[in-house]
Amino acid sequence: MSAYVAAARAWLAQDPDAVTRDELSALIARVEEGDAEAAADLEDRFSTRLAFGTAGLRGTLGAGSNRMNRVLVAQAAAGFAAYLRERSSGTPTVVVGYDGRRNSDVFARDSAEIFVGAGLDVILLPRMLPTPVLAFAVRHLGADAGVMVTASHNPPDDNGYKVYLGGADAGAQIVSPADAEIAAHIQRVADAGDITVLPRSVGYCNAPESVVDAYVAATAAVAPAPAGAEGLRWVYTALHGVGWETFSRVLTEAGYPAPALVEAQIQPDGRFPTVAFPNPEEPGAMDLAFETGRTVDAELVVANDPDADRLAVAVPDAEAPGGWRRLTGNEIGLLLGWRAARAAAAAGTDGSLACSLVSSPGLQAVAEHYGLAFHSTLTGFKWISRAPGIVFGFEEALGYLVNPDTVRDKDGISAAVALLGMATEARAHGRTVADLLREFRELFGAFASDQISIRVTDVSEIAGIMASLRAQPPAALGEVGVARIDDLLEGADGLPPGDVLRVWLDDGSRLIVRPSGTEPKLKLYLDVRASSAKKAARRLAALRASAEALLASIR
């Protein structure tokens, strides 16, 4: 334990944040008094460090190398600056943005000052803004890179650091080997042991409001409101995030009627006081929106996550609890993919549809129907956005790329505009979003998906489950035999290596197992196809029961 106390004292000496200094000083004192719980806490904070990967950094706020704090962010900024200087023949330009989470603004300004101190040109977005605005700004301003301080939909006590590259990467998130190269630079800064000696400067520029104006104009142009849109009754919630200010401007420019707002969740609030998890996928997160929807007799409920890069949608359903059914990410993705494919076919243009390998195979059926190419990628928009010729991409975790010429990342605001366009066009013909889903099934078949998510406190349990499945793969799931298993650890089907098992069953169903890339979870993705919604639901229920039994036999 003395090594962790020494590491903590060295950390204290360079920490510029009074809050985390006090937190850590109190913890050290408890450890020295023999508090076993405090000793375990200190070990957790200093036995490792938050790993920098293709998702950047993400973790719980607090003192220590295994937490998100100003020391870790300073090391990350200095390491990223060194990486950019190494790969550039001139002076790199970096755009920095931040959302409304605790310390996001502080981390952003620390990064900007360290970037300038390292000799970079730096543009700081004018205020807290959605992640898609930062992704847009990297391309719009011709920058070499971008940093967004956000933990997206993670729990309230988390924050994160997401990195984008410009130039040939077109404003997409980093992929391997850039992550390892950046991580090596960060480690060298950390090994030097004192961030107080890093040069800093406040000589960064504030981005002009015209950058946000340009994003608003480009996003409004995704789907200008059709005739008759003014009658639409709908509800919007920002889940205490930063989406509403920007989205409201887009709605005005595109010509859509104002929604009924979930007032308790519309302003940015990093405490997220009305939700346990600020993720619209989580049970209860949209309850206030449903309540508002019932009050105003809404036809549609729309939600963004806290940094507005994801979109959730719900429709009235008398058979659903509370009278509302939240559409799955696959259902929204298939509708938006259908929209994009029809537009490409009508324009006579080539292009491709893309989705992550854990998303619905229904998108491939759409692409084939309209003569478009299709790409299945590893999870994450860092991969989806790089699909050749992409006109639309999605992943089942409520992420959609509908405007690839301007934003090469998931964008919950442009996706919302596209969905509103579909809803209002259908409404003009006496149809609803639920009717659109029915029409999709009639044209392409009934695709049904489900997900099993296992949250753990010890991430080694996830590795153990994956190892067990590889050592003793199932021969059948329930009464359905296993046709084959693809282990993507070594790569397959042209995909980069990934810790993913893809199980194909004799009836065409599919089970995919992988660890989450951002949370301590094991995720199982279930997909079936049938001739009708009822048959697909029965097949999916049987597959879920079999998958749960398999897990129970391993854990």
Residues annotated as catalytic (active site), given as ranges = 152
Give the separation between CA 204 and CA 550, rounded to whole angstroms: 55
Phi, psi of 114 (to 5 degrees): -70, -40
How far apart CA 300 and CA 437 sit, in angstroms, is: 14
Q: Which residue has the tokens 């990410």?
A: 329
Cβ neighbors of 460 (< 8 A, separation 6 or more) are none
Spatial separation of the C-alpha atoms in residues 555 and 553, rounded to whole Å: 6
What distances in angstroms separate CA 460 from CA 456, 465, 471, 520, one per listed residue? 9, 9, 16, 10
Query: Residue type for 279, please?
Result: N
Do residues 190 and 49 lie in contact, with contact meaning Cβ atoms separated by under 8 Å?
A: yes
DSSP annotation of 68 reads B
The SS3 call for residue 187 is helix
Q: Are 293 and 319 in contact (CB under 8 A)?
A: no
- How many CA atoms within 13 Å lie on the side-chain side of 371? 8
Which tokens hold the place of 5?
């106390």
Torsional class of 389: left (φ above 0), alpha (ψ -120 to 50), beta (otherwise) = left
DSSP assignment string, 375-387: EEE-SSHHHHTTS
